[in-house]
C-alpha cells in the first residue's frame, strides 16, 4: 500500500497565514499599532523561533499594556484557532485515499497544539494517522520520527513519499532514508547543493498529484 508522509505547518495548512490573522486580532484587541504585525511575524520566523524566545520578545515589548496570559494565549492557541484547510488540499487527500494511499502527518511541534490544528481543520478525518515530535521524542529530520510514522499504520517506509516545505526537516530527512520527496516551495527557490528533492511543487495538492502519478 503506497504511503504518503506529509508535513503539517505550511504544507498541508498555511500556518503563517493563521498566525498572521491571530497576531492582527491580538494587536487590535490590545490597541497596539498595526505596524507591529511585521515585527511579530519576523520574530516568529514561521514558527522556527523557540516559543519561549517569542514569548520573551512580546512580553518585553508589551510589558506595560498586555497581560502575560494574553501573550501565552496567542502563542498557545492563536494558530490552531485560525488555521484552515484549503479546498484543494482536502480534495487531494480525499483522492489519494480513494486511490488506496495511506496518508500520515509527520510534524515537529508540541502535541497539544499540533493535534488541535489537525482536529480543527478536519485533517483527522482525512488521514490515517499522525506522529508529533513531542510525542515520539524525535524531531524531523531524525529517521526515528519517520519510522514511527510508518509504524503507526504498520507500513514499511520503502517506497514512501515525503512531502513538506522544509529543506532540512523534510527533504534532508527523506534523503537520509532513501525516500522520494516533493518540496513545497511557497514561491521560494531551492538553495541546497548537497541534496535535492525528487520533485518540486508549488503547493501540497500538486505535490500529492505528482506522487500519485509517479507511483502509478
For the stretch 114-152, pLDDT in tens is 999 999 999 999 999 999 999 999 999 999 999 999 999
Position 30 confidence tier, pLDDT thresholds 50, 70, 90? very high
Position 15 confidence tier, pLDDT thresholds 50, 70, 90? very high
Q: How many CB atoms lie within 10 A of CB 175?
A: 20
For the stretch 83-117, pLDDT in tens is 999 999 999 999 999 999 999 999 999 999 999 99
d(CA 133, CA 175): 19
Average confidence score pLDDT of the chain: 96
d(CA 84, CA 123): 10
Amino acid at each position: 500500500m503506497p504511503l504518503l508522509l506529509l508535513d503539517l505547518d505550511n504544507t498541508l495548512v498555511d500556518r503563517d497565514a493563521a498566525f498572521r490573522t491571530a497576531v492582527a486580532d491580538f494587536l487590535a484587541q490590545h490597541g497596539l499599532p498595526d505596524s507591529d504585525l511585521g515585527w511579530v511575524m519576523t520574530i516568529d520566523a514561521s514558527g522556527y523561533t523557540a516559543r519561549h524566545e517569542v514569548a520573551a520578545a512580546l512580553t518585553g515589548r508589551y510589558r506595560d499594556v498586555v497581560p502575560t496570559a494574553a501573550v501565552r494565549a496567542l502563542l498557545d492557541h492563536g494558530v490552531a484557532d485560525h488555521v484552515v484547510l484549503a479546498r484543494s488540499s482536502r480534495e487531494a487527500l480525499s483522492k489519494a485515499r480513494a486511490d488506496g494511499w495511506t496518508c500520515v502527518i509527520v510534524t515537529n511541534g508540541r502535541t497539544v497544539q499540533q493535534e488541535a490544528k489537525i482536529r480543527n481543520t478536519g485533517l483527522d478525518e482525512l488521514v490515517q494517522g499522525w506522529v508529533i515530535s513531542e510525542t515520539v521524542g524525535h524531531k524531523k529530520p531524525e529517521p526515528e520520527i519517520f519510522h514511527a510514522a510508518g509504524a503507526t499504520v504498520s507500513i514499511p517506509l520503502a517506497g514512501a513519499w515525503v512531502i513538506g516545505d522544509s529543506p532540512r526537516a523534510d527533504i534532508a530527512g527523506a534523503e537520509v532514508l532513501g525516500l522520494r520527496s516533493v518540496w513545497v516551495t511557497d514561491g521560494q527557490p531551492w538553495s541546497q547543493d548537497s541534496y535535492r528533492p525528487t520533485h518540486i511543487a508549488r503547493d501540497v495538492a500538486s505535490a500529492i498529484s505528482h506522487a500519485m502519478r509517479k507511483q502509478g
